[in-house]
Structure 1
Amino acid sequence: MKRMVLAACLASLAALPAAASSGDAWQEFAADVQAKCLAASKDLLEDAKAVVDPTGSEHFGLAIMTGKAKGTDTAVSHICVYDKKSKAVELGSELSADTVKVEMPGSTKP
């Protein structure tokens, strides 16, 4: 009996590296979070851009959406939460530039 338990433990340990996410899988995940968050923000933001947490939390993908509030010249941000299980997204309320400052990668300061 002890040998069967030991064999089962060793077999499960051998499978762990295969279960770990690859770099490509994380890139696909981040791209899906970005696409879904951008789609969710289209009615709220003009020229929306996303900064995506590359791996998110245990249960959620996370992104900060930034752009101009629809119909204004006011820069605002929204936090986007992506449920890893259902792949549904939700946006938080509008955050003014006074509340949160987001610099997009590759952008230059004025």
Structure 2
Amino acid sequence: MSCYHRSAAIVILTASLLPTAVLASTDDAWEALRADVSAKCLEAAAGSMEAPQAVVDPFGSESFGLALISGKPKGAEGRISQICVYNKQTKAVELGGELTEDMLKTPAK
């Protein structure tokens, strides 16, 4: 096999394996992002909620990770939710205002 053909075969073989390797690392990266969004949003909500729980948007937006945090408000009855926005670049989080269960119900038609 000539040097040219050998080089071409190596390039083709490497290129055929590349999508699998990229996909695997992308899945790992998305999972790491979701875990960080969850942890930071739960930490931010711990001051206003007892035992908060997070539902993380699987991919968020282009610039932000997104989660809905829900739990019992500290010192009160019922259940509240807050939208959590995670800046993918700075990793800072911000919480929206408290949404009550009544605010989240869809009106009957």
Does the alignment reach a TM-score above 0.5?
yes
Measure the CA separation in 1 of the matches of 2:93 and 2:24: 24
Q: Per-residue deviation at 1:42? A: 0.6
Higher-helix-fraction structure: 2
Q: Does 1:96 align with 2:100?
A: yes
Q: Does 1:81 align with 2:81?
A: no
Q: Percent identity?
A: 56
Q: Which runs of 5+ in 1 are unaligned?
A: 1-13, 102-110
Q: Given residue 89 of structure 2, which amino acid in structure 1 is its aligned partner?
A: K
Cα RMSD between the aligned structures?
2.0
Alignment of 1:1-110 (within 5 A): 18=22, 22-100=26-104
Structure 1 runs (4+) greater than 6 angstroms displaced: none
TM-score where L is the length of structure 1:
0.72
Q: How many residues align?
A: 87
TM-score where L is the length of structure 2:
0.73
Q: Which runs of 5+ in 2 are unaligned?
A: 1-14
Measure the CA separation in 2 of the matches of 1:25 and 1:73: 38
